[in-house]
Structure 1
Amino acid sequence: MFALYLYSAPAAFAQCDGVELTIELTYDNWPEESSWSLMDASGAEVAAGDAYSSGALAADGSTETIVACVANDACYSLTVSDAYGDGGTDYSVTDADGNTLAAAVGWYGDSSSSDFCVGTVVVPGCTDE
């Protein structure tokens, strides 16, 4: 079983048995409009949150760091949504080695999605190299 951990200091969470992902969200001036969802390849929600995830509304322009422990050798999709439709939340997803797996800069309208894989994933079909 994999779990989502919110933290601000590395010692604040348990050992991850999969792949540790760091999701950084930098909110615009209306963080209350923002939400996010991390889905696996089957469409199952792995983790989700919004600007209230830490228990209080995130400050305008603030950056929130979320650490998610996910299964290795799998693909995921991160969707960041804006209820007002003027999306301004920047985001990035990095692995424990600091590799950027997904990133986007705001002003995307209703939502922005990025697909990425961790570990060794075999992609069926023709892939030109």
Structure 2
Amino acid sequence: MTLNKTLIFSLFLTFIAIFVSCEDDSASSSSLRDFVGVEEAKNVGIVLGETVVVESKIYASESVSIDRTFDLIVDPSSTHAQADFVVPASVTIPAGSKEGVFQVSLTGNNIDNEGNLLVLSLSELSGVNQSSTGTNPVVSKPKKKIVYNISEVCQTGLTKVQLSIKFDNFPEETAWELYDSSFNVVASGGFTGTTITGYAALGFADQDTFISNFCLAPGTYTFVIYDDYGDGMYTNATISGNYSLKFLDGTVLASGGGDFGAFEDTEFTIQ
């Protein structure tokens, strides 16, 4: 009797092991069939006012016998204005394929100096796959999001530069102008007409930082920064403002800060 009981118990354990193994294989296969991935984040540079069309793809780890169509949902974390993009309602992975393709239209308006984001999510999908082994459910639950990093780029022949101004405790006193070689004003800030009104009226607080990007043609320029009170960007020994005008690679074209009096000017050349 003892031998029979031992044999029966051993057969029972073998049955359980086979059953669990089959369950694991089924779960693994289901998990593989469920997986849908997306491309890496795309960096999209757009000339101001122009529109570009970006092709994007999603990928399934397995092909199935049915079309798999996912809704494309604009994620709340997006910062690119809704009027400046067109996203299709859905994307389909055709039956027998592992890849779905769609196109997004992006327009270069209202792009922040730090760049904008368009983030898309994919809806979940339920369906039925007819295969040689029978009918199997298909439940796809995409986890990753499709991200577009949108930045403004310059037209061919122009160079992008960035102006950064960190104010002292009197942003209302700061203004600036950029002149070309013929002393035409190319860009400016902190003025109302010819009067310095500074940056407090524009919503900047003490010690805030203002950043602006613009595109310049080859030539010689003069950057001038003004202080309406006449003591530069200086509040006291521990609080002082500063500014810099740079290429995007970090090369400095003009910089300064502290007590420079009523104004400070720097000439530079772009090749």
Q: TM-score, normalised by structure 2?
A: 0.39
- Larger relative contact order (CA 8 Å, sep ≥ 6): 1
- The answer for unaligned runs of 5 or more in structure 1 is 120-129
The answer to which structure has the higher helix fraction is 2
* Contact 1:38–1:78, Cα closer than 8 Å, also in 2: yes
From 260, 265, 271, give the equivalent of 1:108: 260
Confirm whether residue 23 of structure 1 aligns to residue 128 of structure 2: no
Aligned-CA RMSD value: 2.3
Q: Which runs of 4+ in 1 moved over 6 A?
A: none
- The answer for unaligned runs of 5 or more in structure 2 is 1-47, 49-109, 117-149, 191-197, 234-240
- Structure 1 residues 44-53 or 89-98, which shifts more? 44-53
Shift of 1:70: 1.1
* Contact 2:171–2:206, Cα closer than 8 Å, also in 1: yes
Q: What amino acid does structure 2 have at the position aligned with 1:77?
A: T
Equivalent runs, 1:1-129 vs 2, <5 Å:
7-11=112-116, 14-17=152-155, 18-50=158-190, 51-52=198-199, 56-71=202-217, 73-88=218-233, 89-119=241-271
Q: TM-score, normalised by structure 1?
A: 0.78
* Contact 1:31–1:57, Cα closer than 8 Å, also in 2: no
SS of match in other structure, 2:207: coil
Q: Number of residues paired by the alignment?
A: 114
Q: What amino acid does structure 2 have at the position aligned with 1:30?
A: F
Q: CA–CA distance in 2 between the matches of 1:43 and 1:6?
A: 28
Q: CA–CA distance in 2 between the matches of 1:99 and 1:86?
A: 27
* Contact 2:165–2:244, Cα closer than 8 Å, also in 1: yes
- Identity, % of aligned positions: 30
